[in-house]
Amino acid sequence: MTSLSGRTALVTGGGVGIGAAIARALAQAGTRVAVTYRTHAPSHEELASLNGPGGPALALAVDARNEPEVRDAVGRVVEEFGRFDILVNNVGGLGRRAGLAELDLPTWRSILALNLDSTFLFSAAALPHLPNHAGGRIINVASLAAHTGGHAGALAYATAKAGILGFTRSLATELGPVGITVNALAPGFIEATPFHDTFTTEESKSRTISGIPLARAGRPADVAGAARWLASDDASFVSGAVIDVNGAQYFH
């Protein structure tokens, strides 16, 4: 495992699912980790599992759509850790399944804000603290839906996740000259997450898995391994990339 000893990371939405797995992987690699949460607070046991060689973890209650709360959270990380190296923008969600005929403007804006505004707000707040020419990393969690449009009723969610891909590529170009890399992960069907527990039926899960060439669902650890690599020096020349984690269900 590539060591990330001495570095610090903030994983938004890190209390459960993919975010929690990414936080654990970074902690195990030697990173001191902070996680944000809103509806899924990590238990004492889960938070303790994030304590690693880098030191004790930090959990912060944050509404990722609220700019003052986001800036306060980033400031707290810098105050507690003394530095800020890695930002993982993982906060997001479907909200509810609705096609164009069922979507109203407040729902549309709410889903875009949760997924896309949060990515912008945390990136903007973190930027002044990320090290230039010394391994600063921004890793954005998008979705297979950004490529395919997602299943029925995912219009707003897929639009937001596609926006994250554009944000990633543009910001990678902008921050390249100062040595900060910006990449995205696009997970496919990842089981054991609140997303699919809430919005996907067992029949739909089985049908989706049957179409995955690797013949299994993904696990949060599958996404976490890719995030750990992007955070490492091994990926220092990788920026503006979208890493598809979907078992060959889709590639481009």
For residue 37, indicate whether it is catalytic: no
C-beta of residue 127 within 8 angstroms of C-beta of residue 74: no
Amino acid letter at 23? A
Partnered with residue 88 across adjacent β-strands are 11, 139
Q: Residues 81, 122, 157, 195: which is the catalytic one?
A: 157
Nearest C-alpha neighbor of 159 from the set 232, 100, 91: 100
Beta strands in 5-155 (DSSP E): 8-11, 32-37, 58-61, 86-89, 137-141
Two structure tokens written together for 245: 């984690």
The one-letter amino acid code at 205 reads: K
Tally helices (H) and strands (E) across the chain: 10, 7
Contact status, residue 59 vs residue 41, Cβ threshold 8 Å: yes
**Catalytic residue numbers?**
157
